[in-house]
């Protein structure tokens, strides 16, 4: 095993350190956030920092770096209080990655990447037409994380659109069947192969594999 001390990590060249430290949390979700500003300018941004926060109410968190390429997305969310999250699948991962380029605020990443802005059920922020699992959110809270000046944005899911083929009878969504991708470090994209679903674990009883219909 290779060992790095805290001092070793802090002394690393910036890009090396970013790739290394971004590998440590494990696989990350791959999502596109769709927003529009009050003047109607659309914005689309890939993020690997979306995480589950709670099921009741249905809450999702996202971490933003204020001066990063996703700053327009953060500004639009704070301005309009609405946004969409769209899972990235294997068919669109290169287009999704391209949204991380530094476009001007007056440029729409939809236009530059070929992804389709889709408006559903009167919700003001654009969805990604090519995504097979996507949802509308309303901003509920945001707070500065003082340790490194990042912003935690928390939204409540107000509408969900999911390809029915992936929805299992017990509520589990087979996101592997949607070819949703996982991200490693800053730039690795992966599809998945299910090992198993496991039964709810009980103390002093062996782990059991879930038998699926």
Minimum CB separation of residue 80 from its own copies in Å reads: 18
Nearer to its own copies, 17 or 71 (CB): 17
3-state secondary structure of 51: strand
CB of 126 to its own copies, least distance (A): 16
Residue 74 or 85 with smaller CB distance to its own copies = 85
Minimal distance, residue 37 CB to its own copies, in Å: 19
Question: Can you tell me whether residue 113 is helix, strand or coil?
Answer: helix
Nearer to its own copies, 65 or 80 (CB): 65
Provide the token pair at 26.
Answer: 């494990």
Closest CB to its own copies among 116 and 198?
Answer: 198
Cβ-based nearer residue to its own copies, 2 or 40: 2
Q: Which among 153, 119, 116 is positioned nearest to 136, based on CA atoms?
A: 119
Q: Which residues of 187-208 are buried (b: 16+ CB within 10 A; e: fewer)?
A: eeeeeeeeeeeeeeeeeeeeee
CB of 40 to its own copies, least distance (A): 21
In the complex, minimum distance from the CB of residue 9 to its own copies, in angstroms, rounded to a whole number: 5
16's tokens? 């090396």
Q: Are 142 and 152 in contact (CB under 8 A)?
A: yes
Residue 14, SS3 per DSSP? helix
Asked if 32 and 45 touch (Cβ cutoff 8 Å), the reply is yes
Q: Taking Cα atoms as reference points, which of 82, 17, 40, 27 lies closest to residue 193?
A: 27
Considering beta carbons, is residue 37 or 166 the nearer one to its own copies?
166
């Amino acid at each position: 095993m290779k060992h790095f001390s805290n001092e070793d990590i802090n002394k690393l060249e910036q890009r090396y350190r970013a790739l290394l430290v971004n590998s440590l949390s494990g696989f990350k979700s791959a999502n596109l956030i769709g927003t529009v500003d009050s003047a109607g300018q659309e914005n689309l941004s890939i993020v690997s920092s979306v995480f589950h926060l709670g099921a009741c109410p249905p809450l999702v968190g996202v971490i933003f770096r204020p001066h990063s390429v996703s700053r327009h997305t953060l500004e639009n969310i704070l301005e309009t209080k609405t946004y969409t999250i769209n899972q990235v699948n294997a068919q669109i991962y290169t287009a999704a990655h391209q949204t991380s380029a530094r476009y001007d605020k007056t440029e729409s990443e939809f236009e530059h990447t070929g992804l389709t802005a889709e408006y559903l059920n009167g919700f003001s922020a654009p969805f990604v037409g090519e995504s097979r699992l996507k949802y509308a959110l309303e901003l509920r809270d945001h707070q500065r994380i003082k340790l490194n000046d990042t912003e935690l944005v928390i939204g409540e899911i107000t509408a969900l659109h999911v390809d029915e083929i992936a929805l299992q009878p017990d509520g589990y969504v087979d996101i592997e069947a949607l070819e949703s991708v996982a991200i490693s470090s800053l730039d690795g994209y992966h599809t998945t192969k299910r090992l198993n679903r496991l039964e709810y674990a009980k103390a002093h009883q062996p782990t059991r594999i879930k038998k699926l219909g």
